Amino acid sequence: MTTQQYIETVNTRYKSGMSGEHSYRGDSERLIRELINKSSPPLEEEYPKGEVVVKVADSSLNNLPHLKTFRKNLRNNLTPAEAKLWTLLKNSQLGGIKFRRQHSFNNYILDFYSPSEKLAIELDGAVHNTEEAQEYDKKRDLFLNNYGIKVLRFENKLVFDETDFVLSEIRSAFGWSKTTPNPSFQGGEPFEVFAPIDILDYIYAVLHSPTYREKYKEFLKIDFPRVPYPKDKETFWKLVKLGGEIRELHLLESPKVNEPITSYPIGGDNKITRKLDKNDWEITDIENQLGRIWINDEQYFDKIPLIAWEFYIGGYQPAQKWLKDRRGRELNFEDILHYQKIIVSLFETDRLMKEIDEVGVE
């Protein structure tokens, strides 16, 4: 039986009422195990003592197409414990952190996942108490750990009986990947493991160093950037942290973007009719270098930092280009919030770039 046929069989059984919740989710578990056995990389790997483990990052490992229908069915048929926890996680309720339900990574489907925190949450029922299931969970967690994803597991009953404890444990895991390297142990001796995302964040920090950009600006015009080796471990992890913060800002996944620093005080039709040139921009607070941009004759975004308004990413000024690309359109509520998030992202990027230079890039 092919994977697609298996999915269709499970779905047919579920829709026809032949399979109750636990049986359906049991079929789900068996399907995932079948997929892992067929197509996953090795789950147990031996690393020489003291060796740093790095796996190649691949965005295509997220939400594989052949699992789309399967994930949708799981989202529509949450267990009571999953439904309870989702009411507490959805809409970024917990610490402003966004979680997704039934997000897949490679061929594993995670009950809940936060991309910004690289944090997976698994709720375990009685089916996980068997020796076979525990061995499977161990291999599964090892695989995810080696890709820089932290896994938290809770028994279903804890979600109902110890809700505050569960939320506290989840909250305490926020920021884990940005502050310390992953500790691993071989033969009782610790060694540090970093994930591919850490390499990306280090490079992202280097490329956002004003000193690095100035020093190599002529070379960067004609060739790919050369990434310097970190001078020591402490510098590496500091730059990983700062680079990760910038990456999350640019993806609008940082909690900071949910704290607007601008305002949109006047009601109206929200239609962008101005040319959005220098005549539509004005400084309103010279001391703090804040200004406003008029989108039509009555409405404007106010308290925009000049730094964010003039900020360049590549050859573009995002704060200006985003509005110009929507000239003639009416902004809806989500558009207005999105633009305010962009301003926060640009303003915070400038601050973090200064911090990167304080840490120092060779």
What is the distance between the alpha carbons of residues 339 and 302, in angstroms, rounded to a whole number? 12
Least confident range of 6-20, 268-282, 328-342: 6-20
- Where are the chain's structural domains? 42-189, 195-255, 262-345
What is the CATH topology of the domain spanning 42-189? Endonuclease; Chain A (3.40.960)
What is the distance between the alpha carbons of residues 255 and 355, in angstroms, rounded to a whole number? 19
User: Can you say whether residue 84 is alpha, beta or left, with left for phi > 0 and alpha for psi between -120 and 50 degrees?
Assistant: alpha
Categorize the per-residue pLDDT at 12 as very low, low, confident or very high, splitting at 50, 70 and 90. low
What is the distance between the alpha carbons of residues 152 and 310, in angstroms, rounded to a whole number? 42
Least confident range of 37-46, 218-227, 276-285, 310-319: 37-46
Rounded average pLDDT over 144-157: 89
More confident residue, 183 or 98: 98
Q: What's the pLDDT score for residue 86? A: 95
* pTM of model > 0.75: no
Categorize the per-residue pLDDT at 107 as very low, low, confident or very high, splitting at 50, 70 and 90. confident
**Element at 306 (helix H, strand E):** helix 306-310
Query: Whats the size of the chain, residue-wise?
Result: 362
C-beta atoms surrounding 297 within 10 Å: 9
Q: What's the pLDDT score for residue 156? A: 92
Structure tokens at 187: 């033969």
272-328 pLDDT, tens digit each:
999 999 999 999 999 999 999 999 999 999 999 999 999 998 889 999 999 999 999
Q: What's the pLDDT score for residue 301? A: 97
What is the distance between the alpha carbons of residues 196 and 358, in angstroms, rounded to a whole number? 25
Q: What's the pLDDT score for residue 177? A: 62
Q: Judge whether residue 133 has pLDDT over 50.
A: yes
Categorize the per-residue pLDDT at 45 as very low, low, confident or very high, splitting at 50, 70 and 90. very low
What is the distance between the alpha carbons of residues 16 and 337, in angstroms, rounded to a whole number? 43
Rounded average pLDDT over 52-64: 57
Q: Judge whether residue 15 has pLDDT over 80.
A: no
